[in-house]
Structure 1
């Protein structure tokens, strides 16, 4: 059977789900925080449905099919580097990279070690430190130090596998923010917003046998290339420019969480 013929399980097709909204990004409280962190107007979540059984080992085929799908091309949003306007992908994707992002954490107690290690005080205040730079980020507290400075004494509080977890990635992205980020003095806004977005994007179910809650989503950090080079999530690489695909194989939905580093909306 030639690839692409009916019945060929290899071909994914997608549909845009504009009716699916992500409350975690649109509540007044979150909007206010994203504005303070210089991410408002530069972060977006979108939902798409797909029609075939998702198999993790075929993630590259899945992502490539996504970028080539006629229902995705006019709907997938990204920010223009030059104008700062939201656009759709106006170029043909030739190659994709989809990096597996582990997603096993079911509790925010994952971050309790920030208190245990005196990075955050019991009252929630983040411990300050002498200013230093880890380009392009100003480090003025122990939290940013543990997130960014590999030779700092408390960096090992989070192991490398911990740092690869989607929950940690999300938390770190919110803590570092955009180009004019006004950092928080207390930890709670970061933890609360991380939890809201995580719960909004990631699917869970109760295992019928064990009765335990388990995560059903597969997550990939995605980069796409056209004939010139990187075209998505942006032509410019930055630690705070990202696109995560959160795939729910049961509902056959893919949630796209996108952010492009820069100066967010201020009013």
Structure 2
């Protein structure tokens, strides 16, 4: 174990866990959907372990230690903008941003209001609207309008706090997709895929006192900078280019969910 203050910058050491499967992304049905949404080959989940007690209030130290760790640097994958190939973090990280992402939702009933507000019909089909652009996204139904258009009449169906929830973020990312996204006409593929990914990444346990299921993971949306500027998840900022660190403090695992906006695998 590294010397230094427990939980401090020198305190954490990490190990890559390449054998950890993420069936939510590798299942054939999910792969087919990700291909349709232009995300296949551009989205990845990875797992790392760490060796000390995680303290959420010291998240910045934890995330900086992660990006500087000799077992993370050669294994953490990102997409090269020039070649389109998967590469590893080549440069020295000088600064990080780690934004707390609330993660409290335990049920997909969180999205039932989409039916209640006639954004989605009872048969699961999304309600269509006149085509409009919210750069770079085409809006052709009420679902995308609720996700993107702040002055639309039903935008407030989800409160600002709702929109920060990790489950909402995953769902929204899937709905918006990649550069050549072919949108679904029905809601269920988005809900099913979001649920699979969420369950794959987030840890829960039964509270010994209340016997209720509770989420134990902490989630952070992360950005890293080297001497030239932003280097991870990309050198260019885009709503659909993201990396989340999902920390399980009990198992001492970190799951990374990464996506880079662009044209996904076609064939």
Give the Cα–Cα distance (whole angstroms) in 2 for the partners of residues 120 and 70 of structure 1. 48
Identify the residue that residue 132 of structure 2 maps to in structure 1. Answer: 132
1:1-267 matches, cutoff 5 A: 5=3, 8-10=6-8, 11-267=11-267
Could you say what secondary structure the match of 1:209 adopts? Answer: coil
Pairs aligned (count): 264
- Report if aligned partners of 2:99, 2:222 keep a CA contact under 8 Å in 1: yes
Give the Cα–Cα distance (whole angstroms) in 2 for the partners of residues 48 and 206 of structure 1. 24
Q: Deviations over 1:1-48 (max 9, x none)?
A: xxx636744210000000001000000000000000000000000000
Give the Cα–Cα distance (whole angstroms) in 2 for the partners of residues 126 and 153 of structure 1. 16
Give the Cα–Cα distance (whole angstroms) in 2 for the partners of residues 181 and 79 of structure 1. 18
Give the Cα–Cα distance (whole angstroms) in 2 for the partners of residues 187 and 9 of structure 1. 43
- Cα distance change, pair 213–154 in 1 and its aligned pair in 2 (3 A): same
TM-score scaled by structure 2? 0.98
Q: Deviations over 1:88-147 (max 9, x none)?
A: 001000000000000000000000000000000000000000000000000000000000
Give the Cα–Cα distance (whole angstroms) in 1 for the partners of residues 236 and 56 of structure 2. 28
Could you say what secondary structure the match of 2:208 adopts? Answer: coil
Give the Cα–Cα distance (whole angstroms) in 2 for the partners of residues 94 and 206 of structure 1. 39
Give the Cα–Cα distance (whole angstroms) in 1 for the partners of residues 146 and 6 of structure 2. 48
Could you say what secondary structure the match of 1:144 adopts? Answer: helix
TM-score scaled by structure 1? 0.98
Could you say what secondary structure the match of 1:243 adopts? Answer: strand
Give the Cα–Cα distance (whole angstroms) in 2 for the partners of residues 9 and 44 of structure 1. 27
Give the Cα–Cα distance (whole angstroms) in 2 for the partners of residues 23 and 54 of structure 1. 26
- Report if aligned partners of 2:125, 2:187 keep a CA contact under 8 Å in 1: yes
Give the Cα–Cα distance (whole angstroms) in 1 for the partners of residues 92 and 136 of structure 2. 31
Deviation at 1:78, TM superposition (A): 0.1
Q: Deviations over 1:195-252 (max 9, x none)?
A: 0000000000000000000000000000000011100000010000000000000000
Gaps of 5+ in 1: none
Give the Cα–Cα distance (whole angstroms) in 2 for the partners of residues 24 and 9 of structure 1. 31
- Cα distance change, pair 119–58 in 1 and its aligned pair in 2 (3 A): same
Give the Cα–Cα distance (whole angstroms) in 1 for the partners of residues 194 and 82 of structure 2. 29
Give the Cα–Cα distance (whole angstroms) in 2 for the partners of residues 178 and 113 of structure 1. 26
The root-mean-square deviation of aligned C-alpha atoms, in Å, is 0.8
Give the Cα–Cα distance (whole angstroms) in 1 for the partners of residues 59 and 18 of structure 2. 23
